[in-house]
């Protein structure tokens, strides 16, 4: 089902592509060429595992669709055209390769973090996606998951030795292609956000309080999902808050002098830093905690395929590199911040969208077992007040990431330069959206500050973070 040309438009917002020869691209990890005979055996095995999306497993020939092959800093990718025996029309698959030796120079720590995230995606498709599809989640099938990342488990003494070993790692994925009835876009309208939030609700409902699945996810994926998770990023990153914010205040003052002169706004960086560790601790549920689920961890609009207007199909979620245990509201907060147009959030739109997500989630959790496994019912009532509390914590948690990282070079000129880059968060490429976002941060941060003050630091996290 996947139409990779759309995905290429996503990545091109980050860095320019380089053409890659088809011969090298079709090499799998053992150095062999991906040919028709080998791919036929792969598709047959995928059929037995519930991961075969094509009308046949018998491949007569295959080729790279010229013009789709790309060499990105983090991965190689291309669309493959397959001729199937006895079939009139060609079929297509999406090929993604991660070859550590071809990745840009970086520290061993950063390289490890990137490779771990790719292994998480491989494990998600190989160990979790079939079960989640059986529970009603719309996911692409993955006929091939081939990884060579055991280097991540070795005990290495020096950074030099670690990088040398990590550079031997690699990953090959073959994924289903979407058809022309899907599209990608960002930012989203209110109506589009309603559809994507319903999709996220389905995803979260499928693993809701499933202790067995979440315990496995904690071990095999990320113990806490989200690329912005504070311990994953490193607490020293908090040192970026004040200089980035001082730069923003100076650069944008003429755009909104009244707003940016407010004392609470001027102290935004200090306020975010003061609650950052506490907020992060509130959003790290154990697999057995109330309301814990599987969170996507990078729920931006460009990791979603939207069906054509008028279609009864549901959106499709992709890219599971940062998936792990968490609260669904962390995905919702990141999604509304990154990918929803400011016009959809004004005049109560933000809370209305959160309510629509909440209603969809609770409706799915209460649905017949044919949609969600019978064991995944609400073991404990989940009120909107509890959901809104978790959303506000998550909103502030992601705001820390925005100011720490994405406001580094903030300016009207920088925003204009990336205004059309859909993969970039809307609040750091649109001035109006950015200024309205600050009002939202200020409001949610005031609530979080009060919550933190009212919570004894010795109180267990699971008791402190939930409104009873």
- d(CA 78, CA 67) in angstroms, rounded, equals 8
The label of the residue with tokens 């390769």 reads 97
Q: What is the pLDDT of residues 77-104, one digit of tens each?
A: 899 999 999 999 999 999 999 988 888 8
pLDDT score at 370: 42
On average, the pLDDT of the chain sits at 89
Locate 200 and state its tokens.
């996220």
Closest CA to 17 of 27, 7, 3: 7
Could you tell me the CA-to-CA distances from 108 to 30, 92, 303 in Å, in that order? 24, 36, 27
- Is the pTM for the entire model greater than 0.85? yes
Residue position matching structure tokens 């099938």: 141
Confidence class of residue 12 from pLDDT cuts 50, 70 and 90?
A: very low
Query: Residues 222-250: pLDDT tens digits?
Result: 999 999 999 999 889 999 999 999 999 99
pLDDT-wise least confident of 21-35, 265-279, 407-421 = 21-35
HSE-CB at 454 with a 13 A cutoff on CA atoms is 11
Residue 99 CA from chain centroid, whole number: 21
Question: What pLDDT, in 10s, does the model give residues 350-375?
Answer: 999 999 999 999 999 988 654 444 44
Convert the pLDDT of each residue in 126-178 to its tens digit. Answer: 999 999 999 999 999 999 999 999 889 887 766 678 888 899 899 999 999 98
C-beta of residue 213 within 8 angstroms of C-beta of residue 372 = no
Residue 378: its pLDDT value, please?
59
Q: How confident is the model at residue 399 (pLDDT cuts 50, 70, 90)?
A: very high
| Separation CA 105–CA 101 (nearest Å) | 9
- Dist. CA 259–CA 267, nearest whole Å: 12
Residue 68 confidence (pLDDT): 85
Give the HSE-up count for residue 129: Cα atoms under 13 Å, Cβ half-sphere. Answer: 28
CA distance 461 to 111: 32
| pLDDT tens-digit map of 25-66 | 888 887 778 899 999 999 999 999 999 999 999 999 999 998
Element of type H or E holding 212: helix 211-220
For the cut 90, the answer to whether the pLDDT of residue 252 exceeds it is: yes
CA atoms of 274 and 260, how far apart (whole Å): 20
pLDDT (tens digit per residue) in 419-449: 999 999 999 999 999 999 999 999 999 999 9
Average pLDDT, stretch 324-350? 98
For residue 154, the model assigns a pLDDT of 82
**Cα separation of 14 and 341, whole Å?**
20
Q: Which helix (H) or strand (E) holds 116?
A: helix 108-123
Q: What's the confidence (pLDDT) of residue 379?
A: 62
Q: Quote the CA–CA distance of 433 and 341 in Å, as a whole number.
A: 7
Q: Which domains are assigned to the chain?
A: 4-180 (no CATH), 190-464 (3.90.1200)
Rounded distance between C-alpha atoms, residue 393 and residue 301, angstroms: 21
Specify the pLDDT at position 195: 96
Please tell me the distance from the alpha carbon of residue 216 to that of residue 123, in angstroms, as a whole number.
11
Query: How far is residue 119 from each of residues 79, 167, 237, 273, 440, measured CA to CA in Å?
Result: 21, 14, 24, 31, 35
Residue 276 tokens read as 């950052």
């Amino acid at each position: 089902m996947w139409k990779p040309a759309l995905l290429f438009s996503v990545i091109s917002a980050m860095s320019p592509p380089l053409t890659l020869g088809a011969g090298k691209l079709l090499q799998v990890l053992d150095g062999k060429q991906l040919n028709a005979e080998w791919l036929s055996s792969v598709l047959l095995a995928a059929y037995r595992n519930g991961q075969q999306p094509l009308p046949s497993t018998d491949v007569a020939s295959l080729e790279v669709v010229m013009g789709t092959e790309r060499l990105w800093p983090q991965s190689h990718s291309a669309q493959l055209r397959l001729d199937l025996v006895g079939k009139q029309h060609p079929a297509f698959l999406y090929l993604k390769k991660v070859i550590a030796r071809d990745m840009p120079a970086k520290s061993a720590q950063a390289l490890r973090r990137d490779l771990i995230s790719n292994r998480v995606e491989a494990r998600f498709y190989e160990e979790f996606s079939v079960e989640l599809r059986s529970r009603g989640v719309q996911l692409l099938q993955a006929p091939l998951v081939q990884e060579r990342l055991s280097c991540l488990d070795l005990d290495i003494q020096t950074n030099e030795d670690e990088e040398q070993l990590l550079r031997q790692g690699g990953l090959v994925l073959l994924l289903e292609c979407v058809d022309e009835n899907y599209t990608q876009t960002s930012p989203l309208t209110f109506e589009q956000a309603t559809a994507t939030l319903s999709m996220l609700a389905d995803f979260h409902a499928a693993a809701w309080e499933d202790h067995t699945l979440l315990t496995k996810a904690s071990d095999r994926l990320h113990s806490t999902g989200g690329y912005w998770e504070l311990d994953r990023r490193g607490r020293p990153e908090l040192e970026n808050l004040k200089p980035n914010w001082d730069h923003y205040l100076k650069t944008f003052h003429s755009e909104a002098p009244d707003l940016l002169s407010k004392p609470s706004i001027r102290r935004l960086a200090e306020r975010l830093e003061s609650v950052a560790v506490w907020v992060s601790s509130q959003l790290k549920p154990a697999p057995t905690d109330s309301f814990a689920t599987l969170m996507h961890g990078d729920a931006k609009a460009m990791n979603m395929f939207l069906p054509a207007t008028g279609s009864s199909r549901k959106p499709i979620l992709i890219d599971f590199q940062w998936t792990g245990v968490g609260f669904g509201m962390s995905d919702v907060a990141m999604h509304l911040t990154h990918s929803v147009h400011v016009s959809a959030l004004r005049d109560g739109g933000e809370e209305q969208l959160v309510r629509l997500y909440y209603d969809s989630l609770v409706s799915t959790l209460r649905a017949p077992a044919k949609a969600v496994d019978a064991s995944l019912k609400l073991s404990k009532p989940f009120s909107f007040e509890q959901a809104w509390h978790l959303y506000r914590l998550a909103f502030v948690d992601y705001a820390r990431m925005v100011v720490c990282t994405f406001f580094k070079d903030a300016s009207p000129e920088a925003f204009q330069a990336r205004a059309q880059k859909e993969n970039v968060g809307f609040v750091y490429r649109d001035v109006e959206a950015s200024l309205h976002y600050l009002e939202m941060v200020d409001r949610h941060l005031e609530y979080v500050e009060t919550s933190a003050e009212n919570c004894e630091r010795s109180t267990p996290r699971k008791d402190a973070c939930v409104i009873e």
